[in-house]
Amino acid sequence: SQWKPSEDYAEVMELPADELRRRVAEAGICGMGGAGFPSSVKLSPPEDKKIDSVILNGVECEPFLTSDHQIMLEKTEEIIIGLKIIMKIVGAKSGFIGIEANKPDAIAKMEECLANEKKIEVVGLKLKYPQGAEKQLIKAAVDREVPCGGLPMDVGVVVHNVATSNAIYEACRWRKPLIERTVTVTGSIVKEPKNFLAKIGTPLVDLLNQCGGLTDNPRKIIFGGPMMGFTVADLNTPITKGTSGITILSEAEARPVETKNCIRCGACVDICPMSLVPTLIAEHSKKGNYEEAEKLGVMDCIKCGSCAYICPARIPLIQRFDLARMELAKRRKR
């Protein structure tokens, strides 16, 4: 007979919250959506921060990436059990799984497995970038607004990625450390784009070989998606715990563009999901006025890349924000 996770986790749920939290920490579980933040820290909110809701992030709003979609279809029960474990650790009474409407099969499978569950709900979300960001997901799923400079725990919420939930289940049930993850390898010049279950540390070139190689010389290799990922220069770069995908862009797709002066069109202001003024923040960062950039909210930027994508002057806004954040961090450390 086929083994089912849902029939074999009662003993895990009988463990005290401290033991479950310890197993998560020992397994080295971290945010697998890309942030890489230690999960055990998220599962240890201060005593004055009461958590009543846990949200699993299954949005995966980055173009090209499908690893979270894949794991929701193949590890549905494990993800749900992982959510129950998280809820027990933080003492939450309600659980939500946010999934965008372009994944109807994942929504249907989750709802099927949750047919008899009263404390967990699947929330179908509209297609809207960057809905996978924590603050936007919290607003869409439970209609709560995280204050500027605040954290999800400030509104009684903890957010984890669906892949992280699966890893938490494996850590608590099997004492399995985080040694592998699902990775999307994709791009127009990849012969056979695929999702892989790959060991942490696997060189990118090994995964590309399993895809049949490339049809053209790559212009840009991105760890993550094209909007929020970061570029690497070497095909031997290994995947990490936070590598949800690898996107390969061709010469035509990633050709260099000339940066021009800001024309004050306001497009970046209109599109910013955090209601910032990206052009002013970037200008202060360029001039070294990092305190002014901080006053304008540079630390609230979620690095979604929407402003840089829409900017007609092709100003490297995100890079300037990163510079300001790094300099501010250095000054605080000093």
Q: Within 13 A of 62's CA, how many CA atoms are on the CB side?
A: 29
Whole-number pLDDT of residue 311:
95
CB-based contact 303:274 (threshold 8 Å): no
What is the C-alpha separation between 289 and 294, in angstroms, rounded?
9
Residue whose token pair is 């024309």:
263
Tell me the three-class secondary structure of 181-248, residue by residue.
Answer: EEEEEECCCECCCEEEEEECCCEHHHHHHHCCCECCCCCEEEECCCCCCEEECCCCCECCCCCCEEEE
Amino acid at position 196, single letter: F
Q: What is the pLDDT of residues 165-214, one digit of tens each?
A: 999 999 999 999 999 999 999 999 999 999 999 999 999 999 999 999 99
| C-alpha dist (Å) from residue 123 to 40, 145, 218, 278 | 25, 17, 38, 31
Q: What is the pLDDT of residues 231-282, one digit of tens each?
A: 999 899 999 999 999 999 998 888 778 899 999 999 999 999 999 999 999 9
Q: What is the pLDDT of residues 108-123, one digit of tens each?
A: 999 999 999 999 999 9
What is the C-alpha separation between 198 and 59, in angstroms, rounded?
22
Q: Evaluate if residue 35 carries a pLDDT over 90.
A: no
What is the C-alpha separation between 15 and 316, in angstroms, rounded?
49
Residue 249, phi then psi, degrees to nearest 5: -110, 145
Q: What is the pLDDT of residues 5-25, one digit of tens each?
A: 877 788 899 999 999 999 999
206, two tokens: 């090994």
Considering the chain, what percentage of its residues have pLDDT values greater than 90? 87
What is the C-alpha separation between 100 and 128, in angstroms, rounded?
8
pLDDT category of residue 2 using cuts at 50, 70 and 90 = low
DSSP state of 75: S
Residue whose token pair is 């990633």:
254
Q: Tell which residue, 59, 80, 63, 79, has the closest CA to residue 71.
A: 79
In a 3-state reduction of DSSP, which class is residue 121?
Answer: strand
Q: Tell which residue, 239, 228, 270, 37, has the closest CA to residue 133.
A: 228
Q: Which helix (H) or strand (E) holds 168?
A: helix 162-174
Q: Is the peptide bond before 130 cis (omega within 30 degrees of 0)?
A: yes
What is the C-alpha separation between 297 and 255, in angstroms, rounded?
31
Tell me what the mean pLDDT of segment 152-174 comes to: 96
DSSP state of 155: G
What is the C-alpha separation between 247 and 198, in angstroms, rounded?
16
Question: Buried b vs exposed e over 53-90: b needs ≥16 C-beta within 10 Å?
Answer: bbbbbbbbbbebbbbbbbbbeebbbbbbbbbbbbbbbb
Write out the E strands in the chain. Answer: 53-57, 94-100, 120-125, 157-161, 180-186, 194-199, 220-223, 230-232, 245-249
What are 94's strand-pairing partners?
Answer: 53
